[in-house]
Amino acid sequence: MSNNRDNKILILKKEGLYCPAGDFYIDPRGQVKRALITHAHSDHARSGHENYLCSDSCRPLLQIRVGQKNKIESIPFGKKQTIQDAIVSFHPAGHILGSSQIRIEVRGRVWVVSGDYKPQADRTCEPFELVSCHGFISECTFGLPVYRWQPEEEVYDQINRWWKHNKDSGQGSLVFAYSLGKAQRILAGLDPSIGLIYAHSAVHPFLEHYQNAGISLPEIKKIEKDTVIAEGMVIAPPAVEDSSWMKKFRRVKRGFASGWMAIRGPRRRKNIDRGFVLSDHADWPGLIDVITGTGAEVVKLTHGNGDALSRFLGEKGINASVLNESSFREEELD
């Protein structure tokens, strides 16, 4: 006789989202037997699991993140794979290279776990794919109406004009950006005719895999001990902002590329000269368009401003609520 829990497609457990029918977790914490990974950022892809499954283009990035010795399998976007009593497939999330939404089908009912996603297209990852479903677990990092993104080409133009102005003033330029995804996205938009382009060592391991995926990047130099930046451009992760590594840069203007730069508070708190509003997550209109476009009957919101978005969706007649993953309280979702 089957347990009633086996009829649930997803259960929130202390390790994360669990599918009883397939006996797997999605982006789990701790250590589990089988982990399906949406993308290779460290808050989603953790080491220590027995088996990993991800998209084909995520695999080399995941290997860097969790180590070559781990058992990592991958499948192409859109290909269905049966895992016990569940059918799963990976669909582009538009967040970073290889990022996926994970579709789970059990006895004809479908849930989609979004991971992180961005419906606006960019030149460094696969374009977002809208997936119809009965239930949708959506991130909502920027789930407030104030967050509305400009076209990325406009932001590239802002960065390049800032860089050129700094160069004409005899100063170098440095932009803080996460080493996987955001760094490559900015590098792809830089104008190499302005000057030399450098990247922190944390960025370089990922560059080869972006180029292997057919993404065009300019020539990017490594920063050596005796490197003098002069009037060039440096891309570095935010983690080094207050480190001794920064002492080697004098007469360098600092910038920061993030969706958080859309509001004044974070810009003030950062020791930077210029903020650039560039995000790899959906903005407010993007969240609403995707969530309503899925046709989902039930929506669970994670990682952000879920209360405001759930109220807005409720006013539209959508059954939406916040999924509090940090509470570690077990919850049956369907």
pLDDT band at 268 (very low <50, low <70, confident <90, very high): low
| Domain end point (choices 232, 258, 276) | 276
Q: Are residues 218 and 161 in the same domain?
A: yes
Predicted confidence at residue 193, as pLDDT, reads 97
Q: What is the mean pLDDT of residues 117-127?
A: 96
Stated as kind and residue range, the H or E segment containing 163 is helix 152-168
Q: Are residues 234 and 295 in the same domain?
A: no
Q: Which amino acid is at 103?
A: R
Predicted confidence at residue 328, as pLDDT, reads 47
Mean pLDDT of the chain, nearest integer: 92
Please state the separation of Cα 232 from the chain's center in Å: 28
Predicted confidence at residue 71, as pLDDT, reads 94
Q: Are residues 35 and 113 in the same domain?
A: yes
Predicted confidence at residue 267, as pLDDT, reads 59
- Backbone phi, psi, residue 293, to 5°: -70, -25
Total number of domains constituting the chain: 2
Q: Are residues 271 and 323 in the same domain?
A: no
Q: What is d(CA 298, CA 275) in angstroms, rounded to the nearest whole number?
A: 37
pLDDT at 327 over 50: no
| Domain end point (choices 257, 276, 295) | 276
In this structure, the dihedral spanned by the alpha carbons of residues 78, 81, 83 and 88, taken in order and rounded to 10 degrees, is 10
pLDDT at 8 over 60: yes
pLDDT at 30 over 90: no
pLDDT at 3 over 50: no
Please tell me what DSSP assigns to residue 127. P
Q: What is the CATH number of the domain that holds 121?
A: 3.60.15.10
Q: Are residues 103 and 14 in the same domain?
A: yes
Q: What is the pLDDT of residues 173-201, one digit of tens each?
A: 999 999 999 999 999 999 999 999 999 99
Q: Are residues 310 and 261 in the same domain?
A: no
Please state the separation of Cα 85 from the chain's center in Å: 29
Strands 274-276 and 86-92: unpaired
Q: What is the pLDDT of residues 270-304, one digit of tens each?
A: 678 999 999 999 999 999 999 999 999 999 999 88
Do 203 and 179 form a contact (C-beta atoms < 8 A)? yes
Q: Are residues 218 and 182 in the same domain?
A: yes
Q: Are residues 270 and 299 in the same domain?
A: no
Terminal-to-terminal C-alpha distance of the chain: 20
Strands 16-19 and 24-26: antiparallel
- Backbone phi, psi, residue 183, to 5°: -60, -45
Predicted confidence at residue 330, as pLDDT, reads 56
Q: What is the pLDDT of residues 41-80, one digit of tens each?
A: 999 999 999 999 999 999 999 999 998 888 999 999 999 9
Q: Are residues 239 and 319 in the same domain?
A: no
Residue 303 in 3-state DSSP?
coil
pLDDT at 255 over 80: yes
pLDDT band at 2 (very low <50, low <70, confident <90, very high): very low
| Domain end point (choices 231, 252, 276) | 276
Q: Are residues 248 and 220 in the same domain?
A: yes
Q: What is the CATH number of the domain that holds 209?
A: 3.40.50.10890
Q: What is d(CA 183, CA 177) in angstroms, rounded to the nearest whole number?
A: 5
Domain enclosing residue 100, as ranges: 4-146+281-332
pLDDT at 1 over 50: no
Q: What is d(CA 198, CA 227) in angstroms, rounded to the nearest whole number?
A: 10
Q: What is the mean pLDDT of residues 142-167?
A: 97
Which residues, in sequence order, are CB contacts of 68 under 8 Å at separation 6+?
Answer: none
Predicted confidence at residue 264, as pLDDT, reads 72
Q: Are residues 23 and 126 in the same domain?
A: yes
Q: Are residues 210 and 291 in the same domain?
A: no
